Amino acid sequence: MENKKSSGHFAALFTILIWGTTFISTKILLVAFRPVEILFFRFVLGFLVLLILCPRRLQGASWKQEATFMAAGLCGICLYYLLENIALTYTTASNVGVILSLAPFFTAILAHLFMKSEEMLRLNFFIGFAIAMVGIVLISFPGSKLELNPKGDLLALIAAFVWACYSILTKKISSYGYPVILTTRRTFFYGLLFMMPTLFFFGFRLGLSRFTNITYLFNILYLGLGASALCFVTWNFAVNVLGAVKTSVYIYMVPVITVVTSVAILHEQITLLSGVGTVLIWIGLFLSESKIGRKGENHHGCTE
């Protein structure tokens, strides 16, 4: 069981390492693509890859289970990313980054309310949360003030809550005992289905000729194959093994990965506040990770 838990922690950390670097690919693609186009293409690619890896159908799901898949797709694939992208048009990226880091807190509250048999909260979780949030603020606003933008900030707050809902739904789905690749693919399907009506509202155009640019092609493949197909499977695996709360606290690490990536790839300089913030986030993560939930048994992979 310890090996299984270690695998869960590794999967969560690996996922966050990838998700923390996606801002670079997104920034490159935004030169020629609208946010909704990037979102649609990456999850279509993710769905197709999962279909190729595991072409068998998910069979035997009840209507209640199917409704859970639909809700997960609506929350984790469609609403979360749309709300995040819209929020960025009204408020700063720093504001959005800090507010989205509230997702573990919302996840803990929802888990406590609806999954008492799965997750337990202790004081160290809230202490760790507070320390990590201080660190995230130091990283996000070095030398600048936090400026409130009510409309965008509220949308980001809703996005954080929606991701928490997705985490709880993912944990619920894990209890069904289906292979994680099949459940992730089913979630992608419903997410894309809910996304379809919004495409033309946000000015979507197919424009596949843009992918003749090797830079755009590489970055959409990175987002589709890595950040979507692979990372949603590894994230869902981690939720299955560790629980929704323990896995969600890894979200604290996203600003740290962003800072490190900016230094390594964009050659930006790390500030003293960023360094202190990074240390605080690590402390908060370790405090939050200690004895906050119970473990459960689940099935993973393509075969049952």
- Indicate if the pLDDT at residue 42 is higher than 60: yes
Domain of 205? 2-117+146-248
* pLDDT score recorded for residue 96: 78
Mean pLDDT of 129-138: 83
User: Could you write out the DSSP letters of every residue in 103-138?
Assistant: HHHHHHHHHHHH-TTTB---HHHHHHHHHHHHHHHH
Report which of residues 66 and 150 the model is more confident about.
66
Q: Count CB atoms within 10 A of the CB of residue 52.
A: 9
* pLDDT score recorded for residue 304: 44
Domain membership of residue 279 (yes or no) is: no
Domain membership of residue 129 (yes or no) is: no
Average pLDDT in the chain: 84
Domain membership of residue 230 (yes or no) is: yes
**Maximum Cα interatomic distance, the chain, rounded to a whole number of Å:** 56
Q: What gap in Å lies between CA 293 and CA 242, rounded to an integer?
A: 8
* pLDDT score recorded for residue 1: 65
- Indicate if the pLDDT at residue 114 is higher than 50: yes
* pLDDT score recorded for residue 43: 96
Domain membership of residue 281 (yes or no) is: no
Domain membership of residue 231 (yes or no) is: yes
Report which of residues 224 and 105 the model is more confident about.
224
Domain membership of residue 177 (yes or no) is: yes
pTM of the entire predicted model: 0.83
Range ranked top by mean pLDDT from 105-114, 136-145, 175-184: 175-184
In terms of Cα–Cα distance, which of 261, 256, 292 is closest to 107? Answer: 292
Instruction: Please state, for a pLDDT cut of 70, what percent of the chain lies above it.
Output: 86
Domain membership of residue 79 (yes or no) is: yes
> For residue 169, what pLDDT band results from cuts at 50, 70 and 90?
very high
Tally of domains in the chain: 1
**Segment 221-271, tens digit of pLDDT:** 999 999 999 999 999 999 999 888 889 888 888 877 877 776 777 666 667
* pLDDT score recorded for residue 269: 66
Domain membership of residue 107 (yes or no) is: yes
Report which of residues 302 and 261 the model is more confident about.
261
Q: What gap in Å lies between CA 279 and CA 63, rounded to an integer?
A: 46
